[in-house]
Amino acid sequence: MTHSPLPVLFVSHGSPMFALDPGQTGPALQRMGARLRERGDLRAVLVLSPHWMSRGIEVMSHPQPATWHDFGGFPEPLYRLQYPAPGAPELAQQVLELLQAAGLPAQANPERPFDHGAWVPLRFLLPAADLPVLQLSLPAQMGPRELYALGQALAGLREQGVLILATGSMTHNLREFMGGRPEQDAPAAPYVQEFARWVEARLLAQDSEQLFDYRRQAPHAVRAHPTDEHYLPLYFALGAAGWGQPGATEPEYFNREVMYSYLAMDAIAFH
């Protein structure tokens, strides 16, 4: 049976509490994960998370990465959660070679554990934790165009059974989130919806000119992302998916929930 390339996913992971209080987003990820498993060709996962930032490009190479609870001040049950997926040292070497061939030197990191930007959404998306997973760092110096190129360099993995997963958050103003302490199902702040739906409109229109210049073009961009590390993984996903190129298909939004008024939990599949 011949399969089309695996989709590329951008998934908002929100607060660490998402792991215990999944809202509508957890079930949406579970349904997507079930669809991916039904294909029969999924063999590994490559994750880029904003919780691993580095000066250069680094690739996780540990054969059995630990689950890192890289946060503080949350309920004790959260710290008992584990995601015991195996690592992927052989795939890590392949990623290093692909990046080198694209003029993007990278190095292996044999110590890196899974951060919560990876394991929290993966607990819903692929709960069996039986597939090899490796993480790629988010280089601190890269902007939208550079991250798009980074994704392009690894796009071929989609045809080899590797799911490319970028995680972050469609909006991420922690000062407002922590200051207001709204309930999980509190109404969305208007600016959160305005920013998220602007991004959706640009994605559907394949409008790369505006999307790459989102900081100046998007409504409330700086308020939605006082720092933009949780938004930038989207561009890595776009590059890996070939978004904006001739023949690119329309993105599939499979979640648009807003949690705690300020955290847009958009999840998008690029086929």
Tens digits of per-residue pLDDT, 233-246? 999 999 999 999 99
Residue 3: pLDDT band (50, 70, 90) is confident
Q: State the average pLDDT over residues 137-164.
A: 98
Say what percent of the chain tops pLDDT 70.
99
Could you give the domains of the chain?
Answer: 8-270 (3.40.830.10)
Give yes or no for residue 116 having a pLDDT over 60. Answer: yes
- Report residue 127 as tokens: 């709960």
Q: State the average pLDDT over residues 148-159.
A: 98
Residue 178: pLDDT band (50, 70, 90) is confident
Residue 2: pLDDT band (50, 70, 90) is low
Q: Give me the pLDDT at residue 100, please.
A: 98
Q: Convert the pLDDT of each residue in 40-65 to its tens digit.
A: 999 999 999 999 999 999 999 999 99
Residue 179: pLDDT band (50, 70, 90) is confident
- Look up the pTM and report it: 0.98
Q: Convert the pLDDT of each residue in 98-111 to its tens digit.
A: 999 999 999 999 99
Give yes or no for residue 148 having a pLDDT over 90. Answer: yes
Give yes or no for residue 142 having a pLDDT over 70. Answer: yes
